[in-house]
Structure 1
Amino acid sequence: MTPPFSGDRIILNDLGFYGYHGLFNEEAKLGQRFFIDLQCGVDLSAPGNTDEIGHTVSYADIYDVVKLTFETKRTKLIEALAQNIATALFDAFSDIDWIIVRIRKPEAPIAMVRGEAAIELHRVRPA
């Protein structure tokens, strides 16, 4: 078995969403932008050899699960949002062995002139 977080992966970067996640009332009322970077550990040897979509996980389907999860349940913490995304992806795609999800919050309620607050979770499929 390949060690976690190495080997083949499907990558989706800079997925932008507008949502109402956060601790503060203003975040729940006004909302803000979020950006998600995602890596999913999937053995890509079969689609690489066959050139057939049926032998891989569709990144469009991954995006749909991320979008639905992001929009379905408001969370106070982006850590919880990231965990919800990882869990939903493991539930939806049995071929995903591990996930790295980073959520970036450029308008975090802190006094920064430039930059963003972010978290990154590394998860391996539960046994």
Structure 2
Amino acid sequence: MDKVYVQGMAFYGFHGAFKEENKLGQRFYADVIMEMDTKKPGKTDDLDDTVNYALVYETAKEVLEGDPVKLVETLTDKLSRLILERFELVQAVTVKITKPDPPIPGHYDSVAVEVRRERGFEEL
């Protein structure tokens, strides 16, 4: 399966387990890898035959700038499900959400969660 990458999307959201995170907000980054057949758009050079990257960005923006959640795991799951729901050509998707500068004493880089979902995966 071919892969289409939309990486380094940056958003400002109010997600986190602590009230301060929900009040002050912070940056979040999203990386998306979509597994799909790109033979047709490769031949036709037609945007209608593939996934519009701008719409993928808007979907990520909706989730990451949307209603606050506590966990990065929730964000990655929600975004992966929406991509599979909205983009029929995508057979599987890997979503990585990075939260830089988490409020963890002595930790100054980032935390990230990556999930892979495919069409037809079982619900929990």
Same fold (TM over 0.5): yes
- Give the structure 1 partner of residue 81 of structure 2: 87
Q: Distance in 1 between matches of 2:106 and 2:54?
A: 34
Q: Distance in 2 between matches of 1:39 and 1:109?
A: 28
- Give the structure 1 partner of residue 51 of structure 2: 57
Aligned positions of 1:8-87 closer than 5 A: 8-87=2-81
Q: Select the structure that is richer in strand.
A: 2
> Any gaps of 5 or more consecutive residues in structure 2?
none
> Any gaps of 5 or more consecutive residues in structure 1?
1-6
- 1:65-96 Cα deviation digits (max 9, x unpaired): 11112222211001011111011111111111
Secondary structure (helix, strand or coil) at the match of 1:62 reads helix
Q: Distance in 1 between matches of 2:117 and 2:91?
A: 9
- 1:22-81 Cα deviation digits (max 9, x unpaired): 100110011111111110111110000111111111111111111112222211001011
Q: What percent identity do the matched residue pairs reach?
A: 36
Q: Distance in 2 between matches of 1:112 and 1:126?
A: 41
Q: CA deviation at 1:114?
A: 3.9
Give the TM-score taking structure 1 as reference length.
0.89
- Of stretches 21-30 and 64-73 in structure 1, the one that deviates more from structure 2 is 64-73
Asked if structure 1 preserves the Cα contact closer than 8 Å seen for 2:84 and 2:118, the reply is no
Q: CA deviation at 1:99?
A: 0.6
Q: Distance in 2 between matches of 1:69 and 1:111?
A: 27
Q: Which residue, out of 107, 119, 122, partners 1:125?
A: 119
- Give the structure 1 partner of residue 100 of structure 2: 106
Secondary structure (helix, strand or coil) at the match of 2:31 reads strand
- Give the structure 2 partner of residue 3 of structure 1: none
Write the letter of the residue equivalent to 1:85: L
Write the letter of the residue equivalent to 1:54: D
Give the TM-score taking structure 2 as reference length.
0.91
